[in-house]
Amino acid sequence: MAYIFLLENDNEIIASHREVLMQRSKMVDEVWFLVNPKYKTCENDMSLYNVLLEYILPVSKSYHSLELTKDKEGYKEYLKYVVPLDTNLSSESGDIQLQLSFIYVGLDADGNGVQKVRKTKPAILHITPIAAWGDIIPDASLAAIDQRIIKTQAQIKELGYYAEILSENQVDNLVYDDNSETLQLMAGSKEIGNKVSVKDILDDGVPVIDLDSGSNSSSGSDSDTDNNGCDCGCKCEDNVVDFGDSDMTEIPKDDDNVVEF
């Protein structure tokens, strides 16, 4: 709810609902002014008036004013004006004296300028003081502490946001699909990146060279011309070159499988 003032036709501002408003509170509480839309006669439509809130702070006795904006929704049959409780109002503890001024500037039926002003009786808005230790800390220091806390909270929320993104996109698995012969990075059940075709890699990849001298010599053919058309004297099978114990200096160059050192 909110701290609510009610204004009827007697120009007296009555606190119809009170709440505890703490000193130096900022944008967490609201003060409502509910105004009867008709003042005395039907000619005085208060919705056409500009509303000015005037108040005097309890300690410094400094004067302030604030132009109010009419809420579109209203409240029941009343016009509603909402004032967020900012530090301008809550900077000092005690009783704030306030009043409303309604101002209308327009033209009558003859085209003559008309000015109307309505004043109200003063009312009291009480601000409750905070703990005593707060009074011995300068306002500048409190402002610095508040700013530091706000900045820290913003950084915590920002870090939490990025941590959530990293958690959602952190790769924790690599899945191979037998049907499509593809590899896919996964973060939980979410696919990360594009699938990679293993079949394309095997088809387009470079020949594999086995330098193991202990390879089985029976893997090749006895005929030099039966090794996939290779007559180099080595044992070649499916692009796999096995040098075995042969003399490397005697290996000729072949147009299809060139091995140079």
The reply to whether 75 falls in a domain is yes
Q: Is residue 166 scored above 90 in pLDDT?
A: no
Closest by alpha carbon to 78, among 173, 9, 131, 135?
Answer: 9
What DSSP line would sit under 2-33, residue for residue? -EEEEE-TT--EEEEE----BTT--SS-EEEE
* Residues 8-42 pLDDT 10s: 999 999 999 999 998 888 888 999 999 999 888 76
- Residue 26 sits in a domain whose CATH number is 2.60.40.3350
The reply to whether 259 falls in a domain is no
Instruction: Tell me the one-letter amino acid at 185.
Output: L
When pLDDT is averaged across residues 240-247 and rounded to a whole number, the result is 52
User: How high is the pLDDT of residue 231?
Assistant: 55
Domain-terminating residue out of 136, 165, 196: 136
Residue 69: CB partners within 8 Å, gap ≥ 6?
81, 82
Residue 246 belongs to domain spanning: 206-250
* DSSP three-state, residue 156: helix
CA gap 85, 239 in Å, rounded: 81
Higher pLDDT, 141 or 185: 185
The reply to whether 190 falls in a domain is no
Q: What is the mean pLDDT of the chain?
A: 77
Number of domains the chain is built from? 2
When pLDDT is averaged across residues 201-216 and rounded to a whole number, the result is 52
* DSSP three-state, residue 153: helix
Domain-terminating residue out of 136, 170, 190: 136
User: How high is the pLDDT of residue 208?
Assistant: 47
Residue 119 sits in the same domain as residue 231: no
Domain-terminating residue out of 103, 136, 169: 136
The reply to whether 129 falls in a domain is yes
Residue 196: CB partners within 8 Å, gap ≥ 6?
182, 183, 184
Residue 121 sits in the same domain as residue 227: no
Q: Is residue 241 scored above 70 in pLDDT?
A: no
Helix (H) or strand (E) holding 162: helix 139-169
Residue 124 sits in the same domain as residue 12: yes
The reply to whether 111 falls in a domain is yes
Q: Taking the CB of residue 228, how many other CB atoms lie within 10 A of it?
A: 13
